[in-house]
Amino acid sequence: MQNPLFQIGATHQIDFRVEYHETDGQGHVHHSNYASYFERGRVEMLRAAGMSYKRLEEAGFMLVVTEINVKYYAPANFDDRLTQTTELTGFRKVRLYHHYKIVREGKLLAEGSTTIACVDREGQPKRMPVNW
């Protein structure tokens, strides 16, 4: 049976605090950290599905970002408690499409999307193992 987190529309939510080293000179989360937040969401979504990114890599499956987009609405600051929702918006043989929303106390701070490709150790496309 296919894992339910590989169904289009599947979502996963994580909560985390902004760490001091993630902020810039103005005290806001530096824009580059949102890519890391998105990755954290994907890794935790896999973990919730009973999959381990580490085990995927050990089995020869590499998940690489081929496209990332972020739209910022309001800044996040040191020690803010954030909630991120990761949604699977598409799934193809070797590609995963995700959408992300990051909120603080219900206020949308940023949203984005990624395209992830599954490749082997040589960088060649490889089908994602949906029945892990």
Question: What is the rounded distance in angstroms from the CA atom of residue 19 to the CA atom of residue 111?
Answer: 19
Contact residues for 13 (Cβ-Cβ < 8 A; gap 6+): 83, 84, 85, 86
pLDDT in tens, the chain (132 residues): 366 656 899 999 999 999 999 999 999 999 999 999 999 999 999 899 888 899 999 999 999 999 999 999 999 999 999 999 999 999 999 999 999 999 999 999 999 999 999 999 999 999 987 665
> What structural domains does the chain harbor?
4-119 (3.10.129.10)
Element (H, E) at 40: helix 33-48
